[in-house]
Structures are given as structure tokens and as C-alpha cells.
Amino acid sequence: MDIKLLKRLREETGASFADCKEALIESDNSYEKALEIVKKKKKERDQKEQISWKNKEENEVCIICGKYLVGFNHSECEKGNKPLYTANGKHFSCYYDDMFYETLGDDFKQDDCIVVVEVEGENFKTFSDTEDKNQAYELFNHFSFREIGYADYGDWDELSSIVGKEEVEQLRKIYFDCDDYAETTWTVLLYHNFTYVTLVRD
């Protein structure tokens, strides 16, 4: 797979790393064919994920701003002017967060970028709390992952537009503005329901 074509495809379409990678493999590195595949897939996904602003349930959450649909004004969200994902400033503590490393490193890493990924699945709280490794593996096998967005490494404004300014300030203080991360070339940040879980880097 041609990394330059992958980066070009992501920049032109705004599609996820995984979708672009899959399209290039499927098209045997033909940029034009990959572009068609990505656009078709993105259109199908957008149609499926359109927000329904009618018949709102009290426990439904806006996928753009993260607030409840009932009780908040979402007119700006409907226009697409809000960040797609705003972290809540909380952090999960998982006994077996190392289980995520291979998946995130293989599927979502991109050189010179910080990629934000959401892990989805039931019983995540149980997974994060359990000390039973067998139970953790069983729960992990039912998780799925999706890319939320990405920013060039060190472009904190762009990252803030994804997870929020306060979250970026906290991440920089803990993980990025220190000597241990001076040689980092890529990072994948993992979240669950707007809560930070872990990160993978090189």
C-alpha cells in the first residue's frame, strides 16, 4: 500500500484511515478507483448516520456535541458547526489497557499524526474494572473501533476542534509536553463515551 496515496486520499475525502487503507488495498493502489470506493462508502454511512431530530428520547445523546438531545439547543449541531467529539475530561483506568495496543497500532496509526479513536461495546465498565484476565479477553472480543478524526502531530488547534481545548491542555500537560515524548512520531488516542481510555504511540 502506498502511504503517500493514503495520505492524499484522507486529505481529499476526510475519510478514516481504515476506510482509505481498505479502499487502496481493494483497488490495488489505483487512486481513482480508491477514491470512488471511499466516496461511495462515506455516502452510504452518512445516510445511515443522519441525526433524527424528531421523536427524541430523553437518554439519547447528540453525536456531534455529546449533550442530551432533550433540553439543549442543537441548531448549530444541525449545521455541522460543532466539533464531532468533545471529551469530558474524565479518564478510565483499565487493568488490561495493553489489549488495545496491537489493534490501535495496526489499524489506526498514521505517521506524524494524532488519531482519535472511539471504542464501542457493551460492558466496557466491567472490562475496565475486572482483574480477571479471561473475562477481560472475552469482553474485549466484542468491542468495535471507529476513527473520530485526526490532526497533524503538534497541531493542537486542530486536535482541540476534535476533543476540545480543555482536553488537549490536559493531554499536553500529562503526555506530550515532556521529554519522554520528544521523539514521538505518531499517537492514537482511545476514548469510550467521551472518556479517555489510553494512548498508543511510537
pLDDT tens-digit readout, 143-191: 999 888 888 888 898 898 889 889 999 999 888 887 666 677 899 999 9
Mean pLDDT of all residues belonging to the chain: 81
DSSP string, 116-178: EEEEE-TTHHHHHH---HHHHHHHHTT-EEEEEEEEETT-HHHHHHHH-HHHHHHHIIIIISS
Residue 59's domain comprises 51-82
Whether the pLDDT of residue 48 is over 60: the answer is no
In a domain, 90, yes or no: no
- For residue 61, the one-letter residue type is V
Q: Could you tell me which residue, 201 or 46, shows the higher pLDDT?
A: 201
d(CA 27, CA 35): 9
First to last CA, the chain: 20
| Mean predicted confidence (pLDDT) in 73-84 | 55
In a domain, 88, yes or no: no
| Mean predicted confidence (pLDDT) in 22-51 | 79
- The tally of domains found in the chain comes to 3
DSSP state letter for 84: S
Q: Is 139 found in the same domain as 73?
A: no
pLDDT for residue 54:
44
Confidence of residue 45 (pLDDT cuts 50, 70, 90): low
In a domain, 43, yes or no: yes
Confidence of residue 42 (pLDDT cuts 50, 70, 90): confident
Q: Is 122 found in the same domain as 73?
A: no
pLDDT for residue 75:
56
pLDDT for residue 144:
92
pLDDT for residue 55:
46
Q: Is 196 found in the same domain as 162?
A: yes
Q: Could you tell me which residue, 126 or 69, shows the higher pLDDT?
A: 126
In a domain, 87, yes or no: no
In a domain, 123, yes or no: yes
In a domain, 89, yes or no: no
pLDDT for residue 52:
45
Q: Is 37 found in the same domain as 55?
A: no
**Degrees to nearest 5, angle at CA 164 with 112 and 169:** 70
Q: Is 121 found in the same domain as 72?
A: no
Confidence of residue 41 (pLDDT cuts 50, 70, 90): confident
- For residue 81, the one-letter residue type is N
Q: Could you tell me which residue, 115 or 177, shows the higher pLDDT?
A: 115
Contacts of 78 (CB under 8 A, 6+ apart): 51, 53
Report pTM. Answer: 0.64
